[in-house]
Structure 1
Amino acid sequence: MSAIEILDRADLESLAAFDTVIDVRSPGEFAQDHAPGAVNLPVLSDAERAEVGTIYVQEDRFKARRVGAAYVAANVARHLQGPLAERPGSFRPLLYCWRGGMRSNAMAVILSQVGWRTTVLAGGYMTWRRHVTARLYDGTLPFRLVLLDGYTGCGKTDVLQRLAARGVQTIDLEGLAAHRGSLLGGLRDQPQPSQKMFESRLLGLIDRLDPAAPVVVEAESSKVGERMVPPALWQAMTAAPRIELAAAPDARARYLVSAYRDISEDRAGLDEALRRLPTPPGRKRLAAWGELADAGDFEALALALMELHYDPAYRRSSRKETRPSLGTVELGGLEPADLEAAADRIAEMIAG
């Protein structure tokens, strides 16, 4: 039997030394947040965990341990016959549970008896969480950020993706947060991750970036949907220089109709979102917008929303802007060729 080893840190470099990082917590716990790249091989299901916890509190601790041990043994057996069945003798797993206690150690004992060099993360998931907090709340980020700014509908996210395809380092906050960053930005059938999961995804990306090269990030507010940009990144964003994209209103309206097609197809969701505008539209305006939606004239509706809400908000923000400008990239249109040309221009601007 191999001895169980202990790891006392949870930075990505340390985690990457293992063949697989195994989160043995329940699926519900894993869904809330987990270390980047971890796989979920639970030793207790959500229902089993709840049952054992209830027995522990309301009945008898010994009985809870006995019932829990039976579930753990059965679940680990399934993992050995399933996801772990083809692992070679040289397999090096790292296991963690909530605090590095009974669940991870129970599975580690069995895996070590198989003969695998098994390691448990001391402190479990909470060690990873403390690492995230230290980096994103208490630390500073050593990057040269460049903000991609501009009116709503200028294709900033599209350009950001094209920059990434060119090898430019980027941080796609909207992708990480599963939200398009505006009042109508929610993604249909795709809820936002928890705040902790958002931060884990963000740190997993940040730790792979080269501090010597610039990093482009879209100019967002301090929240992307309901997810807060962590203080270390937000502080860096507030001091970063800007590149502004500019396009004509009619082109922006056409782009928004395409980008937000899922919203236009969900009439009830669209109506609810329009009622939540920070500038109350009033009954007559809501009725007029409803008529545009009923007629399928979503470009006119987009222009109206830009005029009432999005553009005034951007102009107010711009008047208060203190971050230096690296220049403006004018887009003749927002077709793929225009966005490709914009990405080429921005890559040139930040290269120096």
Structure 2
Amino acid sequence: MAAKDKDRIVPLERIEEFDTIIDARSPSEFLEDHLPGAINLPVLDDTERRIVGTIYKQRSAFEARRLGAAWVAKNLARHLQERLQQYPPSWRPLVYCWRGGQRSGAFVTWLRLIGWPAAQLAGGYKTYRRWVLERLVDLPGRFAWRVLAGPTGSGKTRVLQALAQRGHQVLDLEALARHRGSILGTWPGGESQPSQKAFDTALVAALRRFNPQKPVFVEAESKRIGLLQLPDALHEAIRLAPMIVLDTPRECRMQLLLEDYAWMGDEPGSLARRLERFKGFVPNETLRRWQELALRRDLATLFAELIARHYDPLYRRSLARHPELGRAPRVRLTGLDPGALEVACREIEAWSSVSERLLQPSAVSARPPHAAP
């Protein structure tokens, strides 16, 4: 890199030196994924970017650049008059686009002409994405994982939240994925899941906050959470980690399901349509009955039958395929109140401490995590 570009074009490892990270890409690119904490100030919106790209391919690069330059100037002027009015002369922004090319370069040129010590991220988002994928390979193996397992509705997420409140390191995969992992695992209100790229970015951000000297608690998950895939290295690390099973009474599981899925009762038609996903797992007659229960808003009967006729049989089949799950230590969760959660957490803490003393790499048996499909 030329000496004159040393402070204008900077590598990824220097991003902490800057006050603000600006994503100069289009809104749809930003929505798919972006650097943590970045703000979106596009130099071309989605329509403008598409038109410029079409002209570049079908007519000429010159015409595309001429039109694009006019739109870039217009958009930069708007950003300077609106979002960037608040910053003092000492403000240090870092700008990136897809590959660290013309969009971020134009932005940085104008910011530096004004007097701000702006810089451009070398390689842009493409370099950052490559860095994320590399971290997803090397980070998971650095931590001592502790896995909570159990049938659907056993309270694994509630216990993880209680452990986090007690100061433990917790990776809540379902919160990051915006999905509970099961067939009816859609997030409350039908909130859509993030893109795979955004999920990966969130995972790396979470993993980098953990202390490798302390255990990390996580829920047993399958390879897929809704539409998203767990990275191979993370899935393997969880698969090989010590596991404890929550033993939760049926009435407590029902209470949890009715609390977590109460919002579905406000959308009976939508719930009935979601139940179509059980087609092939249960007889058609059973499926029709469940849909009728959904339309009548009878969630208590519906969830009781889902547990009895689908989720518990599924879990029993998992026990038959993986006997080590049946041999895992168990913790009784007698309720969802703070006192019951505290008792369960103390037992888990004691188990984790014993696992820390006894665990040897050669002693860890290969086993898959268990979750409802």
Does the alignment reach a TM-score above 0.5?
yes
Asked whether the equivalents of residues 268 and 296 of structure 2 are also in contact (C-alpha less than 8 Å), the reply is no
1:57-72 map, 5 Å? 57-72=57-72
* Count of aligned pairs between the two proteins: 348
Aligned to 2:219: 218
TM-score, L = length of structure 2: 0.86
**What is the CA-CA distance between 1:215 and the residue it aligns to?**
0.6
Change (3 A) 1:283 1:193: same
Aligned to 2:341: 339
Q: 3-state DSSP class of the match of 1:244?
A: strand
Name the aligned partner's letter for residue 332 of structure 1: T
Asked whether the equivalents of residues 239 and 323 of structure 1 are also in contact (C-alpha less than 8 Å), the reply is no
Asked whether the equivalents of residues 272 and 292 of structure 2 are also in contact (C-alpha less than 8 Å), the reply is no
Q: Which runs of 4+ in 1 moved over 6 A?
A: 323-326
1:113-152 map, 5 Å? 113-137=113-137, 141-152=141-152
User: What do residues 220-255 of structure 1 show as CA deviations (whole Å, max 9, x unaligned)?
Assistant: 111110100001111100111112211111221221
Name the aligned partner's letter for residue 346 of structure 1: I
Asked whether the equivalents of residues 247 and 330 of structure 1 are also in contact (C-alpha less than 8 Å), the reply is yes
Find the aligned partners of 1:323 and 1:210 in 2 and give their Cα distance: 28
Q: For structure 1, which runs of at least 5 residues remain unmatched after alignment?
A: none
Q: For structure 2, which runs of at least 5 residues remain unmatched after alignment?
A: 357-373
Find the aligned partners of 1:315 and 1:205 in 2 and give their Cα distance: 33
Q: 1:350 aligns with which of 340, 349, 352?
A: 352
Find the aligned partners of 1:9 and 1:170 in 2 and give their Cα distance: 27
Whose helix proportion is higher, 1 or 2?
Answer: 2
Aligned to 2:200: 199
Aligned to 1:5: 8
User: What do residues 4-52 of structure 1 show as CA deviations (whole Å, max 9, x unaligned)?
Assistant: 5222335xxx432321111110000011111112111111111111121
Name the aligned partner's letter for residue 286 of structure 2: R
Moved more, 192-201 or 180-189: 180-189
Asked whether the equivalents of residues 155 and 339 of structure 1 are also in contact (C-alpha less than 8 Å), the reply is no
**Superposed CA RMSD:** 2.2
Identity %, equivalent residues: 45
1:282-293 map, 5 Å? 282-293=283-294
Change (3 A) 1:82 1:204: same
Find the aligned partners of 1:278 and 1:213 in 2 and give their Cα distance: 43
Change (3 A) 1:209 1:140: closer
Moved more, 331-340 or 124-133: 331-340
Find the aligned partners of 1:78 and 1:347 in 2 and give their Cα distance: 55
Change (3 A) 1:82 1:165: farther
Q: 3-state DSSP class of the match of 2:147?
A: strand
Find the aligned partners of 1:116 and 1:278 in 2 and give their Cα distance: 60
Name the aligned partner's letter for residue 237 of structure 2: A
Find the aligned partners of 2:168 and 2:58 in 1 and give their Cα distance: 57
Find the aligned partners of 1:168 and 1:139 in 2 and give their Cα distance: 18
Asked whether the equivalents of residues 32 and 196 of structure 1 are also in contact (C-alpha less than 8 Å), the reply is yes
**What is the CA-CA distance between 1:338 and the residue it aligns to?**
2.4
Asked whether the equivalents of residues 171 and 216 of structure 1 are also in contact (C-alpha less than 8 Å), the reply is yes
